[in-house]
Structure 1
Amino acid sequence: MDCEEVMLTVRTTAAERALLRELARGHGSDVSEVAADGLLDVVPALPGAGAEAVRLQGVLARPAPCAVTLWLPLPLVDLLPLLGDRVARATGLPACPAGAALAAALRYWLAGDPARLAAALATMHAPGTRRAAFPPMVHRSVSRPVPRPAPRPAALLTARSAARPVPQRVPQPVPQPVPRTVGPAVPPLVVAA
């Protein structure tokens, strides 16, 4: 039986979006599956008050100009209103819509250590462990589960992202116009006074 999915769009920073894509690439799955697994990992740890609530407020204070579209399983989407209540209590807001709660939880999770996030994903999908709450994610165009390649080690994921060089702009020389002469060179005209 296929699990129905709901499409939601969340706002993130460019760095958070890049980390989400890097985790998906390192895990061998798509961004939606990594986000769903991240929510399962972070929901029990979301703060109610205290120092962790201040960390959540700090994460949410940063502007989030990038949009990321996610396909989430229906059972996980059903938890979003409860998640919204929890985020509202932690931030002191009167209410938090489900989409904003999803973005807050995802951004809070992505603010963690990338090596720990990759290790948590590897643990969730290790042979012998099974997520009983959700069936395997099914690609929308086929009726069979998408095969998962073996995840990359967390050390390789963080080493590759840390070793990535920052592109530098090298100034290119501006071509100079070449003077053209037609025929033999003529000496300049000198006028006698």
Structure 2
Amino acid sequence: MLEEEVLAEFRACKALLEGHFLLSSGRHSAYYLQCARVLMNPDRAARLAVAIASKLPHDIRKQITKVVSPAMGGVIIGQEMGRALQVDAMFVERPTGTFELRRGFSLEPGDKVLMVEDVVTTGLSSREAIKAIEEAGGTVIAAASLVDRSAGSVDLGVPFFPLVALNFPTYAPDELPPELASSQAVKPGSRAQ
């Protein structure tokens, strides 16, 4: 899928929002990608997952034994990636502030894991998820996401394969441009700040 095709999927379900948003990374943006909306249609979610899977090099794809995603944002795309790759999918969550496997999920020593996110901005959640996966016994051999918002700067410590890299600018709270500074930020994501 080309960038414009991916954006068309987001626009078709009103998942590309414009305004002033506080991202889960703590940064501000004039654009927000509501991945839960783009993934609410099972056919669209499956199409996007197949497109991500096609970006994975064959040598990596054939090694993957599990897909693990961080909750909440990565749960749906992680499940669809498991389907696309024909492997089990599970998720890590933060019941006490730190990612961990729960709900009977477990990894076996030697499991080769693809960590899948919806959107990566700074990579903090992804790195925390990778750490939890490795502490649970898995080996993360690659990461993937629907969208890379890092402008190509994120380092997850493993090969990273986003479906699309969108370089919407993001800003620290002390560097807001006047058009954002003059309006109240909305926090549409699922993670509390």
Scaled by the length of structure 2, the TM-score of the pair is 0.29
TM-score normalised according to structure 1 size? 0.29
Name the one with the larger helix percent.
1
User: 1 or 2, which has the higher strand percentage?
Assistant: 2
Higher relative contact order (CA 8 A, sep 6+): 1
